[in-house]
Protein backbone atom coordinates (compact mmCIF):
# COMPACT_ATOMS: atom_id res chain seq x y z
CA UNK A 1 0.00 0.00 0.00
CA UNK A 2 3.03 2.25 -0.37
CA UNK A 3 1.65 4.12 -3.39
CA UNK A 4 -1.38 5.51 -1.59
CA UNK A 5 -2.04 9.22 -1.89
CA UNK A 6 -4.87 11.40 -0.69
CA UNK A 7 -7.12 14.04 -2.18
CA UNK A 8 -10.41 15.68 -1.17
CA UNK A 9 -13.54 13.84 -2.22
CA UNK A 10 -17.26 14.13 -1.59
CA UNK A 11 -18.95 11.65 0.72
CA UNK A 12 -20.52 8.78 -1.20
CA UNK A 13 -21.70 5.26 -0.53
CA UNK A 14 -18.34 4.07 -1.82
CA UNK A 15 -16.41 5.97 0.83
CA UNK A 16 -13.91 3.87 2.74
CA UNK A 17 -15.56 4.63 6.09
CA UNK A 18 -18.91 3.33 4.87
CA UNK A 19 -17.30 0.29 3.31
CA UNK A 20 -15.52 -0.55 6.56
CA UNK A 21 -18.78 -0.23 8.46
CA UNK A 22 -20.50 -2.60 6.04
CA UNK A 23 -17.62 -5.08 5.89
CA UNK A 24 -17.34 -5.35 9.68
CA UNK A 25 -21.04 -5.35 10.55
CA UNK A 26 -21.25 -9.01 11.52
CA UNK A 27 -17.96 -9.20 13.39
CA UNK A 28 -18.86 -5.94 15.15
CA UNK A 29 -21.98 -7.57 16.57
CA UNK A 30 -19.92 -10.55 17.70
CA UNK A 31 -17.48 -8.28 19.50
CA UNK A 32 -20.29 -6.46 21.30
CA UNK A 33 -21.73 -9.77 22.45
CA UNK A 34 -18.64 -11.30 23.99
CA UNK A 35 -19.26 -12.10 27.65
CA UNK A 36 -16.75 -9.55 28.83
CA UNK A 37 -18.37 -6.71 26.90
CA UNK A 38 -21.91 -7.69 27.85
CA UNK A 39 -20.94 -7.73 31.52
CA UNK A 40 -19.16 -4.41 31.20
CA UNK A 41 -22.19 -2.75 29.69
CA UNK A 42 -24.24 -3.93 32.66
CA UNK A 43 -21.78 -2.40 35.09
CA UNK A 44 -20.49 -5.80 36.20
CA UNK A 45 -16.84 -4.86 36.45
CA UNK A 46 -14.39 -5.40 39.30
CA UNK A 47 -11.08 -3.69 39.88
CA UNK A 48 -9.21 -6.88 38.98
CA UNK A 49 -11.05 -7.10 35.67
CA UNK A 50 -10.46 -3.47 34.85
CA UNK A 51 -6.76 -3.68 35.68
CA UNK A 52 -6.31 -6.67 33.38
CA UNK A 53 -8.15 -4.80 30.66
CA UNK A 54 -5.92 -1.76 31.08
CA UNK A 55 -2.83 -3.95 30.76
CA UNK A 56 -3.96 -5.30 27.39
CA UNK A 57 -5.03 -1.89 26.18
CA UNK A 58 -1.63 -0.50 27.09
CA UNK A 59 0.23 -3.12 25.05
CA UNK A 60 -2.13 -2.73 22.07
CA UNK A 61 -1.94 1.05 21.98
CA UNK A 62 1.81 1.05 22.57
CA UNK A 63 2.27 -1.07 19.45
CA UNK A 64 -0.29 0.89 17.41
CA UNK A 65 0.99 4.34 18.32
CA UNK A 66 4.66 3.47 17.94
CA UNK A 67 3.94 2.14 14.45
CA UNK A 68 1.81 5.17 13.57
CA UNK A 69 4.59 7.49 14.77
CA UNK A 70 7.18 5.59 12.77
CA UNK A 71 5.04 5.74 9.63
CA UNK A 72 3.61 9.23 10.13
CA UNK A 73 4.84 10.40 6.72
CA UNK A 74 3.34 7.44 4.85
CA UNK A 75 0.75 8.73 2.33
CA UNK A 76 -2.01 6.58 3.83
CA UNK A 77 -1.17 7.25 7.47
CA UNK A 78 -0.49 10.99 7.25
CA UNK A 79 -4.11 12.07 6.58
CA UNK A 80 -5.36 10.34 9.76
CA UNK A 81 -2.35 10.96 12.00
CA UNK A 82 -3.64 12.97 14.98
CA UNK A 83 -1.33 12.20 17.92
CA UNK A 84 -2.21 15.33 19.90
CA UNK A 85 -5.91 14.63 19.72
CA UNK A 86 -6.09 10.83 19.87
CA UNK A 87 -2.99 9.24 21.43
CA UNK A 88 -3.97 7.00 24.36
CA UNK A 89 -0.62 5.78 25.63
CA UNK A 90 0.10 8.49 28.21
CA UNK A 91 -3.46 8.29 29.55
CA UNK A 92 -3.13 4.52 29.96
CA UNK A 93 0.18 4.97 31.75
CA UNK A 94 -1.51 7.31 34.25
CA UNK A 95 -4.31 4.83 34.82
CA UNK A 96 -1.90 1.95 35.33
CA UNK A 97 0.18 3.97 37.78
CA UNK A 98 -2.99 4.81 39.71
CA UNK A 99 -3.82 1.14 40.22
CA UNK A 100 -0.37 -0.47 40.35
CA UNK A 101 1.87 2.29 41.67
CA UNK A 102 5.16 3.69 40.29
CA UNK A 103 6.49 0.26 39.32
CA UNK A 104 3.45 -0.67 37.24
CA UNK A 105 5.55 -1.72 34.24
CA UNK A 106 6.78 -4.78 36.13
CA UNK A 107 3.20 -5.85 36.85
CA UNK A 108 1.78 -5.87 33.33
CA UNK A 109 -0.03 -9.16 32.64
CA UNK A 110 -1.64 -9.91 29.30
CA UNK A 111 -3.03 -13.04 27.59
CA UNK A 112 -1.62 -14.67 24.47
CA UNK A 113 -4.27 -13.00 22.31
CA UNK A 114 -2.91 -9.58 23.23
CA UNK A 115 0.56 -10.63 22.09
CA UNK A 116 -0.91 -11.82 18.79
CA UNK A 117 -2.64 -8.47 18.35
CA UNK A 118 0.52 -6.46 18.99
CA UNK A 119 2.55 -8.75 16.73
CA UNK A 120 0.11 -8.08 13.91
CA UNK A 121 0.43 -4.33 14.40
CA UNK A 122 4.24 -4.54 14.37
CA UNK A 123 4.15 -6.74 11.30
CA UNK A 124 2.00 -4.46 9.15
CA UNK A 125 3.82 -1.40 10.45
CA UNK A 126 6.94 -2.78 8.79
CA UNK A 127 5.50 -4.46 5.70
CA UNK A 128 2.22 -2.66 4.88
CA UNK A 129 1.89 0.61 6.84
CA UNK A 130 -1.30 1.57 5.02
CA UNK A 131 -3.13 -1.22 6.82
CA UNK A 132 -2.56 0.59 10.12
CA UNK A 133 -5.40 2.87 9.03
CA UNK A 134 -7.89 0.05 9.59
CA UNK A 135 -6.76 -0.44 13.18
CA UNK A 136 -6.52 3.27 13.97
CA UNK A 137 -10.00 3.93 12.58
CA UNK A 138 -11.79 1.13 14.39
CA UNK A 139 -10.02 1.77 17.70
CA UNK A 140 -9.95 5.55 17.94
CA UNK A 141 -13.45 6.16 16.65
CA UNK A 142 -14.68 3.50 19.03
CA UNK A 143 -12.97 5.29 21.89
CA UNK A 144 -14.49 8.62 20.90
CA UNK A 145 -17.95 7.11 20.47
CA UNK A 146 -18.19 5.25 23.75
CA UNK A 147 -15.60 6.89 25.96
CA UNK A 148 -17.82 9.09 28.11
CA UNK A 149 -20.39 6.38 28.74
CA UNK A 150 -17.80 3.73 29.51
CA UNK A 151 -15.87 6.09 31.74
CA UNK A 152 -18.99 6.75 33.82
CA UNK A 153 -19.77 3.04 34.05
CA UNK A 154 -16.25 2.37 35.28
CA UNK A 155 -16.39 5.19 37.83
CA UNK A 156 -19.69 3.95 39.26
CA UNK A 157 -18.65 0.32 39.29
CA UNK A 158 -15.32 0.92 41.01
CA UNK A 159 -16.22 3.97 43.10
CA UNK A 160 -13.66 6.21 41.40
CA UNK A 161 -13.70 9.99 41.52
CA UNK A 162 -12.60 12.50 38.90
CA UNK A 163 -10.33 11.16 36.19
CA UNK A 164 -8.28 9.02 38.54
CA UNK A 165 -7.95 5.62 36.94
CA UNK A 166 -10.15 6.49 33.94
CA UNK A 167 -7.95 8.88 31.94
CA UNK A 168 -8.17 6.48 29.00
CA UNK A 169 -11.74 7.58 28.34
CA UNK A 170 -10.97 11.31 28.22
CA UNK A 171 -9.90 13.23 25.10
CA UNK A 172 -8.93 16.74 26.25
CA UNK A 173 -7.65 17.58 22.77
CA UNK A 174 -11.05 16.92 21.17
CA UNK A 175 -13.66 19.58 21.93
CA UNK A 176 -16.42 17.96 19.86
CA UNK A 177 -16.21 14.18 19.33
CA UNK A 178 -18.87 14.22 16.63
CA UNK A 179 -17.18 16.95 14.59
CA UNK A 180 -13.82 15.30 15.00
CA UNK A 181 -15.17 11.96 13.83
CA UNK A 182 -16.54 13.70 10.75
CA UNK A 183 -13.12 15.21 10.09
CA UNK A 184 -11.42 11.85 10.60
CA UNK A 185 -13.77 10.07 8.20
CA UNK A 186 -13.28 12.80 5.62
CA UNK A 187 -9.51 12.58 5.87
CA UNK A 188 -9.58 8.80 5.65
CA UNK A 189 -11.96 8.86 2.69
CA UNK A 190 -9.48 11.12 0.88
CA UNK A 191 -6.90 8.33 0.67
CA UNK A 192 -6.53 7.12 -2.90
CA UNK A 193 -6.56 3.33 -3.16
CA UNK A 194 -6.39 0.76 -5.89
CA UNK A 195 -9.14 -1.83 -5.83
CA UNK A 196 -6.78 -4.37 -4.27
CA UNK A 197 -5.51 -1.92 -1.65
CA UNK A 198 -9.07 -1.07 -0.67
CA UNK A 199 -9.97 -4.74 -0.29
CA UNK A 200 -6.84 -5.38 1.76
CA UNK A 201 -7.78 -2.55 4.09
CA UNK A 202 -11.35 -3.82 4.47
CA UNK A 203 -10.01 -7.29 5.26
CA UNK A 204 -7.67 -5.78 7.83
CA UNK A 205 -10.55 -3.99 9.54
CA UNK A 206 -12.26 -7.35 9.95
CA UNK A 207 -9.00 -8.77 11.28
CA UNK A 208 -8.87 -5.94 13.84
CA UNK A 209 -12.25 -6.98 15.20
CA UNK A 210 -11.30 -10.66 15.22
CA UNK A 211 -8.19 -9.82 17.22
CA UNK A 212 -10.27 -7.81 19.68
CA UNK A 213 -12.70 -10.68 20.13
CA UNK A 214 -9.79 -13.02 20.87
CA UNK A 215 -8.48 -10.58 23.48
CA UNK A 216 -11.91 -10.27 25.12
CA UNK A 217 -12.30 -14.06 25.22
CA UNK A 218 -8.82 -14.63 26.62
CA UNK A 219 -9.35 -12.00 29.30
CA UNK A 220 -12.61 -13.63 30.31
CA UNK A 221 -10.80 -16.97 30.64
CA UNK A 222 -8.14 -15.35 32.82
CA UNK A 223 -10.84 -13.83 35.01
CA UNK A 224 -12.61 -17.15 35.35
CA UNK A 225 -9.40 -18.83 36.44
CA UNK A 226 -8.78 -16.17 39.10
CA UNK A 227 -12.37 -16.36 40.33
CA UNK A 228 -13.04 -12.80 39.19
CA UNK A 229 -15.53 -13.54 36.41
CA UNK A 230 -18.06 -10.75 36.40
CA UNK A 231 -20.97 -13.19 36.39
CA UNK A 232 -20.59 -13.73 40.13
CA UNK A 233 -23.83 -13.50 42.09
CA UNK A 234 -22.38 -10.70 44.16
CA UNK A 235 -22.59 -8.46 41.12
CA UNK A 236 -26.25 -9.08 40.38
CA UNK A 237 -27.53 -6.25 42.56
CA UNK A 238 -25.04 -3.84 41.05
CA UNK A 239 -26.21 -4.68 37.54
CA UNK A 240 -29.64 -3.26 38.31
CA UNK A 241 -28.13 0.23 38.43
CA UNK A 242 -27.17 0.05 34.79
CA UNK A 243 -29.14 -0.39 31.60
CA UNK A 244 -27.82 -2.10 28.49
CA UNK A 245 -28.58 0.22 25.57
CA UNK A 246 -27.28 0.81 22.03
CA UNK A 247 -25.30 3.85 23.17
CA UNK A 248 -23.07 1.60 25.24
CA UNK A 249 -21.06 0.48 22.24
CA UNK A 250 -17.38 0.01 22.45
CA UNK A 251 -13.83 0.28 21.77
CA UNK A 252 -10.59 -2.08 21.94
CA UNK A 253 -10.04 0.14 23.26
CA UNK A 254 -10.71 -0.34 24.62
CA UNK A 255 -11.47 -0.19 23.52
CA UNK A 256 -11.15 -1.37 27.46
CA UNK A 257 -11.85 -1.49 25.74
CA UNK A 258 -13.25 -1.10 26.65
CA UNK A 259 -10.22 -1.44 26.41
CA UNK A 260 -10.34 0.24 23.84
CA UNK A 261 -9.85 -3.16 25.66
CA UNK A 262 -10.64 0.48 23.08
CA UNK A 263 -12.27 -0.93 23.04
CA UNK A 264 -12.06 -1.45 19.51
CA UNK A 265 -15.79 -1.66 19.18
CA UNK A 266 -17.10 1.43 17.51
CA UNK A 267 -20.29 3.39 17.00
CA UNK A 268 -19.79 5.09 13.64
- Judged against a pLDDT cut of 70, whether residue 237 lies above it is answered with no
**What mean pLDDT value characterizes the chain?**
85
Is 21 assigned to a binding site?
yes
Among residues of the chain, what percentage have pLDDT more than 70?
79
- Judged against a pLDDT cut of 60, whether residue 252 lies above it is answered with no
* pLDDT value at residue 1: 55
Euclidean distance between CA atoms 86 and 30, whole angstroms: 26
- Judged against a pLDDT cut of 50, whether residue 39 lies above it is answered with yes
- Judged against a pLDDT cut of 70, whether residue 259 lies above it is answered with no
- Judged against a pLDDT cut of 60, whether residue 110 lies above it is answered with yes
* pLDDT value at residue 229: 53
Q: Identify which of 37-51, 71-85, 145-159, 217-231 has the greatest average pLDDT.
A: 71-85
Q: What is the mean pLDDT of residues 133-154?
A: 91
Euclidean distance between CA atoms 122 and 175, whole angstroms: 31
- Judged against a pLDDT cut of 50, whether residue 98 lies above it is answered with yes
- Judged against a pLDDT cut of 90, whether residue 114 lies above it is answered with yes
* pLDDT value at residue 155: 93
Residue 144 burial (CB < 10 Å; 0-12/13-18/19+)? buried
Q: Strand, coil or helix: what is 160?
A: coil
| Structural contact between residues 150 and 95, judged by C-beta atoms closer than 8 angstroms | no
DSSP 250: -
pLDDT digit string, tens, across residues 194-221: 999 999 999 999 999 999 999 999 999 9
* pLDDT value at residue 251: 37
| Structural contact between residues 71 and 267, judged by C-beta atoms closer than 8 angstroms | no
Q: What is the mean pLDDT of residues 133-150?
A: 91
* pLDDT value at residue 14: 81
DSSP 5: E
The residues facing 6 across adjacent strands are 191
Q: What is the pTM of this model?
A: 0.84
- Judged against a pLDDT cut of 90, whether residue 120 lies above it is answered with yes
- Judged against a pLDDT cut of 60, whether residue 248 lies above it is answered with no
Of 99 and 150, which is predicted with more confidence? 99
Euclidean distance between CA atoms 221 and 214, whole angstroms: 11
Task: Give me the residue spans of the domains in the chain.
Answer: 14-239
Of 227 and 146, which is predicted with more confidence? 146
Is 137 assigned to a binding site?
yes
What's the longest Cα–Cα distance across the chain?
Answer: 55
* pLDDT value at residue 2: 52
Is 233 assigned to a binding site?
no
Q: How confident is the model at residue 111 (pLDDT cuts 50, 70, 90)?
A: very high
CATH number of the domain located at residue range(s) 14-239 in this protein: 1.20.910.10
Euclidean distance between CA atoms 196 and 249, whole angstroms: 31
pLDDT digit string, tens, across residues 152-184: 999 999 999 888 999 999 999 999 999 999 999
pLDDT digit string, tens, across residues 66-75: 999 999 999 9
Separation in Å, CA 174 to CA 23, 178, 227: 28, 9, 38
Runs of H (alpha helix) within the chain: 16-23, 25-32, 35-41, 47-70, 83-86, 89-100, 112-127, 132-158, 177-189, 195-225, 236-239
Amino acid sequence: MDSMTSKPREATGSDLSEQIKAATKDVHVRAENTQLMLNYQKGLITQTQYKLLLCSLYEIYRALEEELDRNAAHPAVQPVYFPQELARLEALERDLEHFFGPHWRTRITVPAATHRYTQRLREIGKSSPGLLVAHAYTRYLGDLSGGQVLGKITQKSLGLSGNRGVSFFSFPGVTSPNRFKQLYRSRMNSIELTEQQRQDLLDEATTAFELNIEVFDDLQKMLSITGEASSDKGNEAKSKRFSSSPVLQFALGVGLTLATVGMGVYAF
